[in-house]
Chain A
Amino acid sequence: MRIRALVITVTTALALTGCSLSGSGSDNTASKGSKGAEAPSDVVLVTHDSFTLPQELKAQFEKTSGYKLVVRQSGDAGALTNKLVLTKDDPTGDVSFGVDNTFASRALDAGVFADYTPRDLPAGAATFDLPGDGGKKLTPVDNGNVCVNVDTTWFQAHHQAPPATLDDLTKPAYKGLFVTPGATTSSPGLAFLLTTIATYGDAWPAYWKKLLSNGTKVDDGWEDAYTVDFTQGGGHGKRPIVLSYDSSPAFTVKGGVSSTQALLGTCFTQVEYAGVLAKAKNPKGAEAFVDFLLSPEVQKALPDAMYVFPVAHGTPLPAEWAKFAVQPTKPLTVSPQDINAHRDEWLRTWSDLVSQ
């Protein structure tokens, strides 16, 4: 008995130690490579949780540029921006992707980014330049719209017309049907708050009071709102109106028809930017990566990889996107300067409205 227990213990311990040693062994060699010699061989990308690109494209970048791409990602666009601001004197990487138009001014004011404009900017990209920066430091990579989505099949089954405007959402006919992620905990949620600010100006708190008293549900994150509470999100929720993206209808296609639709009058445009970090250890590699994000291959891969639209004109879209992901012609906007000046005040007010 005793010997058996001893044997089990020793074998398990040895097996586990084997695991650990080989694990840290290979990690050590990797990190030695990254600490590296005089000429940096790595380019380190600091980005948010939603960043992904196909493995082949990553390999292609490493082959053509000669740098090894190291990706560090955590948090959403807000957390990313604040991380860049806090570590600006000793950044955790060379280049950043994912700061969007709602947070960009904060990063620019703090001096996070160095000047860099790619030499051959693809046609159409410049229209997404951040007002006030004009492409000097931040390069637009992708864009997408946060819009109210409706489950068209639900409204058909209930013989009811779906809502069309923000005002409709406060009408008794749509009581208890809308769910949105929170502005303080998710970036689409913040975009929706800005949508209402763009529409109602200083009267936005009054609109939110009506919205909340009409049974609107506020969830923690987009995933919670869409996958649990929305009727078409896979979780068999009960609410047929949800805050999501203009591309979402392309993901609810069954038998050549999409069961959802984005309300194009309720959209707020989010543009994501890339930029070279001011204290980058490998600025050349960082510039190469910004150029790479604008290459036709990456621009073409964006919809499938990150559910956003490319900024380069004429980039072919996936078939279902071309058919079902309709972009608004006149999205709502709030200027980055305005957002930067009032964001905290707005979020505090909003937070108090919701928690009452």
Chain B
Amino acid sequence: MTPVRRSSSERQRAYRGSLRRALALLALAAPPVAVLALFFVLPVWGMVSRGFSDGIGPVLEVLGRPRVHRVLWFTVWSATVATALSVVLGLPAAYALHRLTWPGRPVVRAALLVPFVLPTVVVGVAFRQLLGEAGPLGFLGLDGTAAGIVAGLVFFNVAVVIRTVGAAWESLDRRAAEAAAALGAGPVVVLRTVTLPALRPAIVSSATVVFLFCATAFGVVLTMGGLRYSSVETEIYLLTTNLLDLQAAAALSILQLVVVTVLLAFAARLRVSTAVRRTVPRPQRPRRADVPVLLVTAVLLALVAAPLLTLVVGSLRTDGGWTLANYRALGTPGTALLVPVTTALVTSLRTAVDATWMALLLGGLVSVVVTRRSHGRMERRARVVLDGFFMLPLGVSAVTLGFGLLLTLGSFRESPLLVPIAQALVALPLVVRILVPVLGGVDDRLRQAAASLGAGPLRQFATVDLPVVWKPLLAAAGFAFTVSLGEFGATSFLVRDESPTLPVVIFRLIGHPGAMNYGMALAASVVLAAATAAIMLLVERLRVPSIGAF
């Protein structure tokens, strides 16, 4: 092959073209980066820098404490085990719920997402009523053990795996697997050589998110572990809210950031997406070979349903009798609240609407920027870094962020928009992780073909990307909405008393003595769970036939 000599005008045109591309990408990346810088980097830095007021020495000294090593070790191993379990249990369920069709499937799909949004306080209590000494599953002896903590983490996070992998699996072209089978490959070989490689980006994406959620879990570690175990997150909470040891808190926050960054860099290597053929989802009826998968799904469903049933039963009982009194009380402020639960629900829904559009807008921009084909190594690196940057909010303690926001935002901390913004930051990584595998799986040649036929960037996006990303976008919207509904950590720092969200109200109810408050807290949790399930069902209903073109 002989190198093609270009004339200087051609070179100039190419240069101008790449400059224009770079500027366009920069313009796309600017709004999300600015939002993250203002509402995440600045506050976290504001908090961490206070720990460095006496120089770096005391901070480094903290890292040498044996207790810190213990805390770090526990965090890493518990999160790793919980992530592995979530993937192992989540994959069969993702298959059963997205590749197969059977009666009741939409309801089960929606129900499995419910734990993800329930406030940990409530689930903690429900979980402990089940697993505690006096509970029906008390004989397992899980209460107060590391195994109990891991079980709790899996309970909360398995939905992330099911949703993310399921969305990718659903539209995976069956023909490659069928071809392999026709050539004599057994089901295991097909799974290992055809299906899993195609799903790898989605699996790694969801595993990364689950790991971050587990590593920064707070309520579960405290409730299930009975203070016997400390994670980096609970330690930061203790150091900040109780001991006011900002140096140690800063040290741990930085440690957290380092661990998260290493993990993200590692995940980015594993995640490299390959072009995948997408088709119309054509779920099949279960066959005999699907029985083991359905069994695992049934077990998972039982594991998720048991604590939820405890909640429902608890909410319907007072003094040993069955009653709806707890639900009737939700319309009144009761003794512990300033606003009725119903008002809080409306506030939650409105906040969630704002958080969802923010997360989708920012997450959509990030996903597009990250998945465009890179010209050159520098550009590719920049994209990987950008991708990781937007995952960071999941890896940083809510306490650090919450206090940081109070310290650095001045009068803006009173803005009613702050709560949805904070929630959108938490939902953003999920949105990105759902959209990126799908967008990354779009063969860039399709866009090039569109471009050569005269389509501009917008037209390319509308005709090539949008039809594919449409459903995952809805899934992401549902996720963002539910994350916002259930968010408690950052919200509790920022929420204004006139307009508390539902999780905040539930937390207040459960913290007040009296059987009525406890019953109301359970009833309000059931309402929150039902609202979540209803929204997920609605998202499921929005089937978009136009996807058939691809």
Contact = CB atoms under 8 A, between A and B. Distances in A.
Interface of A: 1-2, 5, 8-9, 12, 16-17, 19-20, 22-24, 27-28, 30-31, 34-35, 49-50, 52, 55, 58, 70-76, 78-79, 82-83, 85-87, 90, 92, 106, 182, 184-185, 217-224, 226-229, 234-239, 244-245, 248, 251, 304-305, 307, 343-344, 347-348, 351-352, 354-355
A217 B223 CA distance: 12
B492 to A, nearest CB: 5
Nearest to B225: A220
Contacts of B515: 234, 251
A185 B545 contact: no
A31 B351 contact: no
A109 B460 CA distance: 63
Contacts of A24: 350, 354, 416-417
A198 B549 CA distance: 76
Given A22-B350, A354-B227, 15 more contacts: A5-B543, A9-B542, A34-B414, A49-B507, A49-B508, A49-B511, A50-B511, A70-B496, A79-B242, A223-B510, A224-B125, A227-B518, A229-B132, A248-B513, A355-B229
A15 B347 CA distance: 15
A181 to B, nearest CB: 9
A324 to B, nearest CB: 13
Interface in B494-550: 495-499, 507-508, 510-515, 518-519, 538, 541-546
A351 B513 contact: no
Contacts of B228: 218, 354-355
B244 A106 contact: yes
A238 B367 CA distance: 52
B132 A237 contact: yes
B172 to A, nearest CB: 22
A16 B474 CA distance: 14
Contacts of A22: 350
Contact of B227 (A71, A218, A305): A218
B229 A87 contact: no
A78 B498 CA distance: 23
B244 A31 contact: no
Contacts of A28: 416
A74 B493 contact: yes
B511 A23 contact: no
Interface residues of B, number: 74
A21 to B, nearest CB: 9
Contact of A52 (B132, B219, B223, B338): B338
Contacts of A92: 406, 413
A227 B461 CA distance: 54
10 contacts: A2-B546, A75-B492, A82-B244, A92-B406, A219-B227, A226-B513, A229-B132, A229-B133, A244-B513, A245-B513
A71 B498 contact: yes
Contact of A31 (B415, B512, B519): B415
Contacts of B511: 49-50, 221-223
Contact of A1 (B219, B244, B545): B545
A238 B416 contact: no
B403 interface: yes
B410 interface: yes
Contacts of B545: 1-2, 5
B230 interface: yes
Interface string B404-429: 00110011011111000000000000
Contact of B510 (A31, A34, A227): A227
A55 B497 CA distance: 13
Interface string B200-235: 000000000000000000010011001111100000
A232 to B, nearest CB: 10
A237 B134 contact: yes
A83 B403 contact: yes
B411 A35 contact: yes
B226 A218 contact: yes
Nearest to A355: B228
Interface of B: 50, 67, 121, 124-125, 128-129, 132-134, 144, 219, 222-223, 226-230, 238, 240-245, 314, 333, 335-338, 347, 349-351, 353-354, 356-357, 403, 406-407, 410-411, 413-417, 492-493, 495-499, 507-508, 510-515, 518-519, 538, 541-546
Nearest to B228: A355
A177 to B, nearest CB: 11
A186 B538 CA distance: 40
A71 B241 contact: no
Contact of A70 (B125, B226, B230, B498): B498
- Chain A interface mostly: helix
Given A8-B542, A305-B335, A351 B226 contact: no
Contact of A184 (B50, B226, B242, B512): B242
A217 B353 CA distance: 42
Contacts of B543: 5
Nearest to B246: A86
Most buried by B among A30, A228, A248, A348: A228
Which 5 A-B pairs have CB atoms at the shortest separation, nearest pair first?
A23-B350, A27-B416, A71-B497, A79-B241, A220-B222
Nearest to B333: A55
Contacts of B541: 8
B336 A52 contact: yes
Nearest to B497: A71
Contacts of A75: 241, 492
A76 B237 CA distance: 12
Given A30-B416, A307-B513, A5 B542 contact: yes
A278 B132 CA distance: 47
B325 to A, nearest CB: 14
B482 to A, nearest CB: 14
Contacts of B546: 2, 5
Contacts of B245: 344
A224 B133 CA distance: 13
Contacts of B416: 24, 27-28, 30-31
B407 A87 contact: yes
A237 B133 contact: yes
B62 to A, nearest CB: 12
Contacts of B335: 52, 304-305
B338 A55 contact: yes
A351 B333 contact: no
A78 B133 contact: no
Contacts of B497: 70-73
Given A52-B335, A227-B510, A5 B406 contact: no
B406 A83 contact: yes
Most buried by A among B50, B410, B499: B499
Contacts of B333: 55
A71 B544 CA distance: 45
A12 B351 CA distance: 16
A31 B499 CA distance: 12
B507 A5 contact: no
Nearest to A229: B132
Contacts of B121: 221, 223
